[in-house]
Amino acid sequence: MAEKPAIDVLQSDSQIFEPDATFREAANVRDPKIYERAAKDSEAYWAERAKLLTWSKPFSRVLDWNPPHAKWFADGQLNASVNCVDRFAVGPHRNRAAIIWEGEPGDARTLTYFDLYREVNAFAGALRNLGIKRGDRVAIYLPMIPELAISMLACARIGAIHSVVFAGFSAESLADRIADAGAKLLITADGGHRRGQIIPLKRIADEALDRVDCVENLVLVKRGDFPLDFKEGRDHWYHRLMQHAPRWTEPEPMNAEDILFTLYTSGSTGSPKGIVHSTGGYLVGAQTTTEGVFDLKADDVYWCTADIGWITGHSYIVYGPLACGATCVMYEGAPDWPDRGRFWQIIEKYGVTKFYTAPTAIRTFMRWGDRYPKQYDLSSLRLLGTVGEPINPAAWIWYRDVIGQGRCPVVDTWWQTETGSMMISPLPGLIGCKPGSATKPLPGITAAVVDTDGKDVKSGGGLLVIKKPWPSMLRGIWGNEERFIETYWTRFGKDTYFTGDGARLDDDGYIWILGRVDDVINVAGHRIGTAEVESALVSHELVAEAACIGIVDQVKGQAIAAFVTLIEGANADPDIAETLREHVAAKIGAIARPKTVLFTAQLPKTRSGKIMRRLLRDIAEGRTLGDTTTLADPDVIEKLKTRYEETD
């Protein structure tokens, strides 16, 4: 008897967009044999990539694998700040822009690699003067300003472990992360800007520090003239420290396996997990994928719209691009301030060539309409990227046609905080793209779709796993070895990493991410991924965004409830709800027809843009709401509860 698939697949494949011939000829990676070589000897491949970095002590061992623990380049030494700053601060790169910063109010700064070198050296020395040494933990709670990247690199320079906390988190969330890491020092700002409002970061930081006793010093960056309380002896102005800091700070030679940073990520249940990343392996993964997937050239202006408080910002604003010597745009504010054309205005202003954003943002842009991007010159764009969650084909096509004007490849990237760098993505000069598919594992990555027994699926739905170690993989959960093993290394054994995602493999070997396994609905024995139903809903011309959950059904066990946001100008009514139910049935099949369609102006999302389906389930089933501290707009939940109760 055939094994029951982990997830049923109901939709078929879509068309392939092959790389443009001109793009292919000039691509950084254009030899298809790279996949074969990396598969044949992945250690040799990663060793070759690692040698592109600057090592103070070359490595002789590539991989020590004692499942589930991996050590990469363990006898080598290097420093992340040297690799991201020092080696580009001399020679022809010296005056190249490293960071082009745009503040939400319109203020701007540009730091060349030599500027960045001076700032990082000075602040590293200032941290040492405050008693921070190798192995100490430093919490960073800053808005999207250059000092955030400078602080991370300064910590890396002296061997301190940084823990960046997104500057939208509450005092309680900040305190929890500071306490878990045992941070000795906190770096924050007097305030920040978001949608025209002032975020009182110093006040929030003070409330957090009232809850912990490990922080000895607070460094305060002056962003504006914001009111604050200054605690003498504990608090130190950043600009005053820099006035007395040394011009040169000797970089600490770090073992490749020394911890570079911890970053806290929330699971569906339980307390936030402090994901641990090493210095050498992480940097190799971030640099390799940045150069290959974004096809970075010397004249590129690259913009990742993520916040550095998330792993995307760590890997693809700071460490990856700077290790490539790239010019990076960094923006402080929201995409709709002062109007909905702000992103496109920035692309036009700085001649952005490579643009990387989230599907949630793309669907929001779609809802706002084409008229905003069409007001600006986007002809500088040469490549588009997407990250954070599965992108539905309709959004992929809109992104390509409206933003990329039909000429830019779209690289859909799958990876996680835990993986450190991209795992599944097209190399744009080699792999044709299917809208909605992350395509194939990158060279050196052994990803597979397996059934519930761990056997490879040849075609169809299953569970996504990684079967071999990779350099940028997490090294643990801070202070919790048991949780590390239980979360990632028990489902299929200690030598196979379980991602927690469902996926399907099509007949061309392309991987389609179906979302978290927790987000699978069992309808009359059919396990249906929410991403597939949501994609069908969003393919309707009136739908801007959708989120689906499973609700109790007396006949089928579970049924599908859809929370839908319509495009602007569309009026929600029962006829549209029925139209959408039938649209899903036509696209996927009657088994996937939603039982309930609820219209809402907004969906509950984390501050990184991910929809919190767990909270939607709580609303639908009348349970006490779970943790809402990571919500971007907590008021959305109360509005949804009221709306759902009215329609129940």
Q: CA-CA distance, 120 to 363, in Å (whole number)?
A: 37
Polymer length in residues for the chain: 648
Q: Which residues pair with 78 in a beta bridge?
A: 254
pLDDT tens for residues 369-404?
999 999 999 999 999 999 988 888 989 999 999 999
Coil, helix or strand at residue 564: strand
DSSP string covering 82-94, please?
Answer: HHHTGGGSSGGGT
Closest to 84 in 3D by CA, of 261, 278, 219, 284: 284
**Can you identify the CATH homologous superfamily of domain 524-647?**
ANL, C-terminal domain (3.30.300.30)
Q: For residue 526, what pLDDT is reported?
A: 64
Going by the DSSP 8-state scheme, the letter that residue 337 receives in this structure is S
Enter the tokens of residue 192.
């920040």
pLDDT at 268: 45
The confidence score (pLDDT) of residue 2 equals 45
Read off the tokens for 74. Answer: 């363990």
Q: pLDDT tens for residues 581-613?
A: 999 887 777 778 898 898 888 887 765 566 777
Residues of the chain with pLDDT under 50: 1-2, 268-269, 627-631
Query: Residue ranges of the domains in the chain?
Result: 524-647
Q: How much is the pLDDT for 265?
A: 82
* pLDDT tens digits, one per residue of 432-479: 999 999 999 999 999 999 999 999 999 999 999 999 999 999 999 999
The whole-number pLDDT of residue 553 equals: 74
> What pLDDT, on a 0 to 100 scale, did the predictor assign at position 615?
77
Which pLDDT value is given to residue 596? 86
Phi and psi at residue 297, in whole multiples of 5°?
-120, 165
Helix (H), strand (E) at residue 301:
strand 301-304
Can you tell me whether residue 608 is helix, strand or coil? coil
Q: What is the per-residue DSSP string for 467-508? A: -S--TT---EETT-HHHHHHHHSSSS-TTSEEEEEEEEE-TT
Q: What is the pLDDT of residue 4?
A: 52
pLDDT in tens, 352-365: 999 999 988 898 89
